[in-house]
Amino acid sequence: MLWRKWHLCYWIVVAKLTSNVILLTPLIGAGGQDNDPLVVTTTNGSVRGLLINHTSGNSVRVFYGIPYAEPPLGVLRFRRPVPKMSWSGTLDATIKPNSCVQALDCIYGNFSGSIMWNANTNMSEDCLKLNIWTPHPNPQNVSVLVWIYGGGFYSGTSTLDVYDATTLVRRENVIVASMNYRVASLGFLSFGNDVVPGNAGLYDQHIALRWIKENICAFGGDENRITLFGESAGAVSVGFHLLSPLSRPLFTRAILQSGSVTAPWGFQNNATARKSATALAAAVNCSTSLGNETLKCLQEKEAKAIIENEVWGKGVVDFPFVPVQDGVLIPDSAQNMSVVGAFNNTTTVLLGSNANEGSYFLEYFLGLPPDADPENVTEENFTAVLKALNPVMGEPPMNKVLEMYGGVIPNTTDGRLSVLDAIVGDYHFTCPVVQLADLLSQAKARVYQYLFGRRSSKNPWPKWMGVIHGEEISFEFAEPLNTSLEYDEVDKNLSGIIMQYWSNFSKTG
């Protein structure tokens, strides 16, 4: 349970540079000129982007940090986002935006496998911005992929190097957009009442999707071919938008990677949400009445103090602030929202998981070394993991669980890790994905499934962890094609295939 210490390194920001491009060209000259390809007029005002040239001769325009909502500061903290007002002049969209306030993972020091997910831009509550990559010269009616990052709803940012969509856009002639949304308690605090109904971070995503739907034509995109794709908590988010009557008209297709609205960690009932809110309020010396007095007190606290005082659960995969049923964006449970007949055969969904989803979470829960296979995972460790599989539901019947995985606790470290990886991965990821696929299929959607089974040649985690949670992300965003990183040829070829599959899905389903 080492991740509980993340608050200790809250303000550390790691910045890195990529080497996929040979030139960054900002706009020179007056903004808003009709013949200037780097200036686009949106419903809010004009934006100026960058031109990224490549050795292939194909170029990509990038627009960073376009605001889609007003900064959620002061009395707007914990509230649903307010759409951005118009601006005058031309907005500079050449610099990556702030990341939303969050804790950072410093548990394993500077180990590359963990810090690659840490926010790499300054953190601020003024973070509700989106990014757009588009082929150059200006395309006409190309399909659009909208990325929603994961991070357990407690972390994540659209600015990570691994989410750079330049090569994907350049190779596949698609547009890619991504947005920052509030995370942790700042994004998912819920009092279980009308004072703070929760899901502010999901509403951030929703407002960003509305903005993209209304403006993507100006960037050369087809508003009728918008595909959401996300991983882990991002996939859960995609699933809720897919089921939500509020969000469903804003996109056409969906890709869910290693996450499902039916996952036990991806949704809370109001009673559990109130417990998390009460614990946070008490920790920062606010009233625990969960009324207006509590809200006002929390809105007056420093963002850092709020994040540092979140009280975590004791589960293997267990996050304190996640989506709840709010009666509007999420009007009901996932099962009830996906009733038979809710979709038709024009709704197309691709979803899947990785071969070893559980290993990443075991690594942290058991405090295993990040750079070597563990020497001794005991029977007590094994039992502790099973007991913590889902603390909200209580201890599972161990014998029943073991019956599905060989019947006995293995007598070697390798054997115990293998079985635990399967149990945790199945319970929290693979089975919920299959369950959602079944629900969507029963509801007449067209459903495709995949299993990702390639361990990257540059995966820095120990070999026992296999094809870890999040493994596929670097492939879909072309990291193996960055020659400076020296991936092997299998990875390079697979990256090209994955990009083509995802892009073709966005184009034709």
77-99: per-residue pLDDT in tens? 999 999 999 999 999 999 999 99
**What DSSP state is assigned to residue 81?**
P
From 172, 231, 310, 357, the catalytic residue:
357
Chain position carrying tokens 């629900």? 439
Residue 232 annotated among the catalytic residues of the structure? yes
Residue 339: what pLDDT?
A: 65
Residue 106: what pLDDT?
A: 95
Q: Each residue of 102-161: pLDDT tens digit?
A: 999 999 999 999 999 999 999 999 999 999 999 998 799 999 999 999 999 999 999 999
Cα pseudo-dihedral 261, 265, 267, 270, rounded to 10? 160
- The Cα 320–Cα 265 span in angstroms is 9
Residue 179 vs residue 342, higher pLDDT: 179
- The Cα 505–Cα 14 span in angstroms is 34
Average pLDDT over residues 281-302: 98
- The Cα 237–Cα 241 span in angstroms is 6
Beta bridge partners of 255: 229, 350
Cα pseudo-dihedral 149, 153, 155, 156, rounded to 10? 10
First to last CA, the chain: 41
Average pLDDT over residues 35-48: 95
From 46, 99, 143, 232, the catalytic residue:
232
Q: pTM of the prediction?
A: 0.93
Average pLDDT over residues 407-420: 96
pLDDT-based confidence at residue 24 (cuts at 50, 70, 90): very low
Query: Which CATH number describes the domain made up of 2-362+423-508?
Result: 3.40.50.1820
Residue 334 vs residue 392, higher pLDDT: 334
Q: Each residue of 176-227: pLDDT tens digit?
A: 999 999 999 999 999 999 999 999 999 999 999 999 999 999 999 999 999 9
- The Cα 117–Cα 6 span in angstroms is 13
Residue 340: what pLDDT?
A: 52
**What DSSP state is assigned to residue 410?**
-
pLDDT-based confidence at residue 3 (cuts at 50, 70, 90): very low
From 143, 310, 469, 503, the catalytic residue:
469
Per-residue pLDDT for 294 more than 70? yes
Residue 333: what pLDDT?
A: 80
